[in-house]
Amino acid sequence: MQSSTRKSITFLCALFALSTSILLSVFNQLPEFPEDHKQVVQKLPRSMDDAKELARVLSLYRENHYYSVLTCLAFVYIFLQTFAIPGSIFLSVVLGFLFNFYVALFVICMCSATGATLCYLASGLVGPPLLEKYCKARIDQWKASVNHHRQHMLNYIIFLRITPFLPNWFINISSPVLDVSLWPFFIGTFLGVAPPSFVAVSAGQNIYNLTTAGDALSYTSILMLAIFAILSMLPVIFQNKLKAHFS
């Protein structure tokens, strides 16, 4: 077990180093920044003030380097999702400020699904020994729920992505261990992150009125997320009622 754990950690470190080198090569496609701008761009946003400053700097380059800026933000987003690093909510707000609403929404959904899938694949390759050691009790607890919803996994993944019941990083790393199929995992993630991303992108259009990430939420947006969560499970509810009626 210790040998398997060491191999898993070594592989993860190598994967992180490779991903970091790819990310740096993407950064090299950006224009040459003045030193004060470079410090802002090279820093992951950890607060709304960081997001505002990043949005301000990148807005100066967006018009002449549209695709370079968009590609760079997309790769950073995927990187954060792949390694479960916090900060993607602030990038969502920045994307909402810099780009057309529907472009930003699509990029966020695609990057979320891609990053989550890469995390899923990495966990499937190296995760079992680590999860057995550090997360066994929590995974065993979730296993019963996964088995209960296995016949309608797509709807279940959509529901989980909309609601805050389980952290996204936990869903990503535990899904391959619990034999959640990759296709419903990817599609469910793409569709499920759309409602909360809608809220973040909308907030990004008024980024300078925000002080914290929580300011993006209003009673209307919370109600909207609740409605989408219910809608995601309605087909399952109707299906179960039909089965009960005809059985």
pLDDT digits (tens, 9 = 90+) for 6-22: 766 777 788 888 888 88
Report the C-alpha gap between 131 and 117 in whole angstroms: 17
Q: Report whether pLDDT(96) > 50.
A: yes
CB 6 within 8 A of CB 116: no
Q: Which residue has the tokens 């954060």?
A: 80
Question: If you compute the radius of gyration of the chain from its CA atoms, what whole number of angstroms results?
Answer: 20
Q: What is the pLDDT of residue 98?
A: 95
DSSP 8-class letter at 111: H
**Does 231 have pLDDT greater than 70?**
yes
The residue with greater pLDDT, 5 or 42, is 42
With a cut of 70, say whether residue 109 has pLDDT above it: yes
What's the confidence (pLDDT) of residue 242? 47
Interatomic CA distance for residues 112 and 17, integer angstroms = 21
pLDDT digits (tens, 9 = 90+) for 53-70: 999 999 999 988 899 899
Locate the domains of the chain by residue range: 2-246
pLDDT tier, 39 (very low <50, low <70, confident <90, very high otherwise): confident
Element (H, E) at 20: helix 2-27
Cβ atoms within 10 Å of 246's Cβ, excluding its own: 6
- Among candidate residues 237, 225, 204, the one with its CA nearest the CA of residue 89: 204
**Tokens 């057995």 map to which residue?**
132
Q: In the structure, what pLDDT confidence band is assigned to residue 245 with cuts at 50, 70 and 90? A: very low
> For every residue of 123-184, which 3-state class applies, written as one string?
HHHHHHHHHHHHCHHHHHHHHHHHHHCHHHHHHHHHHHHHCCCCCHHHHHHHCCCCCCCHHH
State the number of CA atoms in the 13 A half-sphere of 83 facing the CB. 17
Given CA atoms 69, 74, 77, 78 in this order, what sign does their dihedral have? negative
Q: Which of 138, 121, 206, 243 minimizes the C-alpha distance to 172?
A: 121
The whole-angstrom separation of Cα 229 and Cα 224 is: 9
